[in-house]
Amino acid sequence: MFVMNWFNSILGWLGLANKRAKILFLGLDNAGKTTLLHMLKEKKVAQLEPTQHPHDEELTMGKLKFRVHDLGGHDVARELWSEYFTAVNAIVYLVDCNDRDRFPEAKAELDKLLSNDQLAGVPFLVLGNKIDMQRAASEPELRQALGLQHYLTGKSTRKADLPKGMRPMELYMVSVIRRMGYRDGFVWMAQYID
């Protein structure tokens, strides 16, 4: 409860009173998108089936209301991602840090998103999930594998300090099931939602 109260007070401090946002949860299958959405909504971990069809939830954190679209990450679902790009306020891109064999595939999908004209200027929060696993990549390893070295704007960079025309983008290492790290990522992202 303390964590949610703290998170709600931060959102209020950031001036996100009564704001609405459309956020897409994207990433390869088994990256943790649905688990994160369930954790944000229900505040508990559950055994979930892989997402077969897009679904969305309306969530409230503090005075920020947002509609999250969990679009699935399997090959067929990825073909539908672009249908949801209209009027999107932010992208949360999850990567399974424990599945190093799929880093090239995760990078290829992220590169497609970053080069899509419909998403120009849209903030990207990249979550390296499953850091609680023994083989999980470190933050520098994941940054290198995804080619993010020149894209990240900095965790402490405020919206007012961001160079004009630069896309807000940051990488946070998280464990959704252990409730670690994603709160900080959402606080970072919230400042960029108009």
Residues 6+ apart with CB under 8 A from 93: 26, 27, 110, 113, 124, 125, 126, 127
The reply, when asked if residue 95 is annotated as ligand binding, is: no
Say whether 130 counts as a known binding-site residue.
Answer: yes
Is 157 annotated in a binding site? The answer is no
Residue for token pair 């990450």: 73
CB 70 within 8 A of CB 55: yes
Q: Is 27 annotated as a binding residue?
A: yes
Check whether 194 is labelled as a binding-site residue: no
70 is in an annotated binding site: no
User: Does the annotation place 153 within a ligand binding site?
Assistant: no
Task: Tell whether residue 34 is among the known ligand binding residues.
Answer: yes
31 marked among binding-site residues: yes
DSSP readout, 70-130?
E---SHHHHTTGGGG-TT--EEEEEEETT-GGGHHHHHHHHHHHHT-GGGTT--EEEEEE-
To the question of whether residue 131 is assigned a binding role by annotation, the answer is: yes
| 86 marked as part of a ligand binding site | no
Query: Binding site for GTP: what residues are annotated?
Result: 27-35, 73, 129-132, 176-177
Query: Binding site for Mg(2+): what residues are annotated?
Result: 29, 34, 51
Query: Binding site: what residues are annotated?
Result: 27-35, 51, 73, 129-132, 176-177
